[in-house]
Structure 1
Amino acid sequence: MLYWVLKHILLGPLMKLFCRPKIEGVEHVPSTGGAILVSNHLAVADSFFMPLMMPRRVTFLAKREYFTGKGVKGKLKKYFFSGVGQVPIDRSSGAAAQAALDTGIRLLAEGKLLGVYPEGTRSPDGRLYKGKTGVARMALESGAPVIPIAMFGTDKVNPIGSRMWRPHRVLIKVGPPLDFSRYEGMAGDRSVERAITDEIMYALMELSGQEYVDVYAAKIKDDLAAQGRGVAGWTGSPQRPGGGRMPESKAG
């Protein structure tokens, strides 16, 4: 109920008024059954605009801290994130990571649309970074289709570090489903899961027009923080998913 109210009465109309979001390729999203929506990740606002423009409810796996705050503010935050379709997970250990994957597979088996950011965190500079293989494991074990999605403009609406959103046009491009049926029964094979993940990242690179850097975004953020430098200090070269230099691609 809260999800419907937020989407159609409270947040949704305001987001449409100030940001005029547009979606292309929505016909690639199945009308029924589980599917994995894999997206680039530019801003927190991605998790608001994608569900807003999808014809079906989208569920995200969110860090547990969003649901464990104290006092009235903590309760309101828990109520809000539950209402917008986010499910709490613990990301503090290897066992917790497996539990998160199990939760995702369960949601897919229940026929839900599962939103996943393969980079694992927001891009520090607007480029596309190396994907984590959990998405491949979920795809192999669930058999759900994987649908690439590219977000545009959300980093202008909600720049890193900003407290207030700003009016800016948002575009969402949905690509055709990716076929990994040739890997059926090979879940747990690390080389296969890496190959699938790299294929997903290549599809996102093609759809978004972003430069790709074959390094984890979280590592770049940690390294820059340790050096006391901002994200502008990172100057890694664009590459193809899986390695190898490539020329810059133009933004879509």
Structure 2
Amino acid sequence: MFYWFLKFLALGPMLRVIFRPWAEGTENVPTEGPAILACNHLSYSDWLFMPLVLPRRITFVAKAEYFETPGVKGWFQKKFFSGSGQVPIDRTSGSAAAGAIATQLRLLSEGEVCGIFPEGTRSHDGRLYRGRTGVARLALEAKVPVIPVAVINTEVIAPPGKVFGKLARPGVRFGTPLDFSRYEGLQDDRFILRAITDEIMYEIMHLSGQEYEDLYAQDAKKREREQQRAEQRARAQAESDEVWEEIRPL
């Protein structure tokens, strides 16, 4: 009930009036029954705008800490995250990844629609990165369709590292549902999981128009940081050499 209050009586109308989000392919999302929405990840606002254009509740898994903060602040935080379609990760499964899958399997078995960002983290440069295979395992174990989704312009509204960027009109494209029942029983085959994930990412790439990078987003961020450090060291060395050239005896 709190979710619908948040969406229709509080946050939803405000976001619709200010940003006027548009949507394509909403008919591809089933009106009932379980499904997985696999979306690109450009901004922390993606989980707000993607569900906003659909009548159904879209559930995401989130860190358990968001629901366990004590005091008044923790109460409001818990209500906000639970009300906006997020549930805590099951911590009894040994790892965050296993806990996320266990939680989503439970939700799908209850007929829910689960939202997932296969890249695992936000893109720092607007490119689409290699997907994690959890989405494929989830689809095979739950035996549900995967609907590729692309958010557009959300990185303009909330760029990486900033709370707010520029006012822009975000969009959401929903692709044709992907059926992977032909791989039933092969959820432990890593090659099958990679093939399924790559197919999902290929569809997201076409919907979003992003440049694809066959590299995990976290690895790309790490590589960029290393390059920046190398450039800083090179500049420092060049400045040191210039100083030495000025002061060394003739």
TM-score normalised by length of structure 2: 0.86
Tell me the residue number matched to 1:246: none
1:57 equivalent in structure 2: 57
Amino acid at match of 1:52: L
> Which whole-Å CA distance do the structure 1 matches of 2:23 and 2:162 have between them?
25
- C-alpha contact (below 8 Å) 1:67/1:77 kept by paired residues: yes
Other structure's SS at 2:95 match = helix
Give the match's secondary structure for 2:167. coil
TM superposition shift of 1:205: 0.6
How far the C-alpha of 1:63 sits from its partner, in A, is 1.9
Larger radius of gyration: 2
SS at match of 2:197: helix
- Segments of 5+ residues of structure 1 without an aligned counterpart are 230-252
1:98 equivalent to 2:98? Answer: yes
Deviations 1:201-220 (A, max 9, x none): 00111111100101110122
Aligned to 2:162: 162
**Residue 111 (structure 2) pairs with residue 119 (structure 1):** no
Alignment partner, residue 149 of structure 1: 149
1:189 aligned residue = 189
Instruction: Tell me if the contact between 1:60 and 1:115 (Cα under 8 Å) persists in the aligned partners.
Output: yes
Which residue is 1:135 aligned to? 135
Deviation at 1:137, TM superposition (A): 0.3
Residue 233 of structure 1 aligns with which residue?
none
Q: Is the 8 A contact 2:144 2:179 kept in 1?
A: no
- TM-superposed deviation, 1:224: 3.5
Partner of 2:215 in structure 1? 215
Q: How many residues align?
A: 229
What CA distance in whole angstroms lies between the structure 2 residues aligned with 1:189 and 1:72?
46
Secondary structure at the aligned position of 2:61 is classed as strand
SS at match of 2:38: strand
1:123-179: per-residue Cα shift (whole Å, max 9, x none)?
A: 111100000000000000111110011100111111122224642101111110012
Give 1:109's aligned amino acid. S
Q: 1:34 Cα deviation (Å)? A: 0.3
Find the aligned partners of 2:7 and 2:136 in 1 and give their Cα distance.
30
> After the TM superposition, which parts of structure 1 deviate over 6 Å for at least 4 consecutive aligned residues?
none
Unaligned runs of 5+ in 2: 230-250
- Change in CA separation of 1:67 and 1:121 when aligned onto 2, cut-off 3 Å: same
Task: Name whichever structure is richer in helix by fraction.
Answer: 2
Residues 1:84 and 2:84 aligned together: yes
Query: For 1:106 and 1:174, how far apart are their aligned partners in 2?
Result: 24
Counterpart in the other structure of 2:247: none
The corresponding residue for 2:13 is: 13
| Match status 1:200 vs 2:200 | yes
The aligned residue for residue 71 of structure 2 is 71
Residue 12 of structure 1 aligns with an amino acid whose one-letter code is G
User: Retained in 2: the 8 A contact 1:63–1:90?
Assistant: no
State the shift of 1:226 in Å. Answer: 5.4
Q: Structure 1 pair 7/166, CA: closer, same or farther in 2 (3 Å)?
A: farther
> Residue 111 of structure 1 aligns to which amino acid in structure 2?
G
**Conserved? CA contact 1:156–1:168, under 8 Å:** yes
Output the CA distance in 2 between the equivalents of 1:96 and 1:38: 18
Q: Deviations along 1:39-87, whole A, 9 cap, x unmatched? A: 0011111100111111200000112232233433232212110111101
TM-score (norm 1): 0.85
Query: Which is worse superposed, 73-82 or 193-202?
Result: 73-82
Asked if the contact 1:90/1:97 (under 8 Å) is kept, the reply is no
* Paired residue secondary structure (1:220): helix
CA distances 1:169-204 after superposition (whole Å, capped 9, x unpaired): 011111100121211111111110011001000011
Q: Percent identity?
A: 56
